[in-house]
Amino acid sequence: METMLVCVWLVSSLIHTISGCSLSAHRGVTGYTGGSVLLPCFCTDGGTITTSARWLFEPGPSTIILWSRGGVDDPYKDRALISDSPGNMSLRLSDLILSDGGLYRCEAGGQFRDITLTVKESLKNPGCVFSDSGPIPITGSTGHSVVLPCACTDVQKKPEQIKWTADLGNSNTVIFPQGPTSGNDRYKHRVQLLDSVSPGNLSLRLSDLTLSDEGTYRCEADGHYRDIKLTVKGCVFSDSGPIPITGFTGHSVVLPCACTDVQEKPEQIKWTAVTEQQSAVIFPPRSSSGRVQLLDSVSPGNLSLRLSDLTLSDEGTYRCEADGQLKKIMLTVIHTFEEFCLKV
């Protein structure tokens, strides 16, 4: 009889060893920023935790081994505590932040249980909070800078994290912060946080504007966001038709062209000459030894061109183009009075 009892005990022990730890059921847990939370995980049969026990954290597409028998992962070393008593490996996570929210997995004895942690802002210690106003319209001009406004209601409240993204219609790009592998070269050296004194002022300065910068910009902090709709204006011409201009051989002539706002710097400018002999881009010039020169270097919106040493072959149509705008000048070239008299 005693031998039979020993056998039963040995079989029972063997079955328990093979089956391992049977974990408690799935649960969802809610915590609050700055506080602590207990993620429960224990053996329902009171078994001892095996050497393969560990905690995993999935904040997104990646997985972090938060705890194993080797210890606690460095970022959580001062915040994570494992019960580690027989049959219990519950995890206490303290000093909660919003990014702690996600899926946690407890593994032991070949079993696992998932726990979803939701982290909400503590009413006693809220993070960055925005006002309830809708999207903010902002207008900028090509070549200039613009401030995209965004601030916590308490500008002395430092957000846990901040991110600026740009939605330009065909792509959504993180423009701040920019890491070494962000690949956002078009914004390199063009974005800067406006205020380094008030940690809750997240306004961004975007410089050297181009027409392609127009779109929706989103400021995100601590689970909140604010949208700014940016409109970029370029050079605009008046609606007058072709301008007739007369020049004399050997002299210079000014081909007039200007943005309605002469302080408006165009994103790009091009002058094209269409004569009987050819059609060619004459500005920007291919070399510095040409006969063309922009008339005004002080007013960026004055695109008038000086054409010197006129010849009869210069007669034709000249096109001034900037930011999708077009202005035509009809140039007529005639002999000077002296040349005319010599020919007669």
pLDDT tens column, 104-132: 999 887 888 899 999 887 777 677 888 77
Q: Scanning the structure block, which residue is given the tokens 């909140």?
A: 224
Contacts of 148 (CB under 8 A, 6+ apart): 138, 164, 203, 204, 205, 206, 217, 219, 228, 230
Report yes or no: 254 and 310 within 8 Å, Cβ to Cβ. no
CA distance readout (Å), 29 to 42, 75, 93, 161, 162? 15, 21, 12, 23, 26
From the list 84, 83, 76, 42, the residue with the least C-alpha distance to 56 is 76
Average pLDDT, the chain: 83
CA angle in degrees (0–180, nearest 5) for 267-176-224: 120
Residue 219 CA to its chain's centroid (Å): 9
Letter for the amino acid at 173? T
Q: Please report the domains of the chain, with CATH numbers, ordered by start residue.
A: 24-120 (2.60.40.10), 136-233 (2.60.40.10), 243-340 (2.60.40.10)
pLDDT of the residue at 250: 94
pLDDT 10s digits, 223-261: 889 999 999 988 999 877 899 999 999 999 999 999 998
Helix (H, G, I), strand (E, B) or coil at 174: strand
H or E stretch covering 56:
strand 54-58
pLDDT of the residue at 259: 92
Residues forming a β-bridge with 125: none
Neighbours of 79 (CB within 10 A): 16
d(CA 29, CA 38): 8
Report yes or no: 152 and 65 within 8 Å, Cβ to Cβ. no
pLDDT band at 133 (very low <50, low <70, confident <90, very high): confident
Q: What are 257's two structure tokens?
A: 């062209």
| pTM, 2 dp | 0.54
Predicted confidence (pLDDT) at residue 218 exceeds the cutoff of 80: yes
H or E stretch covering 15:
helix 2-19
CA distance readout (Å), 63 to 26, 27, 49? 19, 19, 22
Least confident range from 37-41, 123-127, 132-136, 320-324: namely: 123-127
Mean pLDDT of the 36-51 span: 73
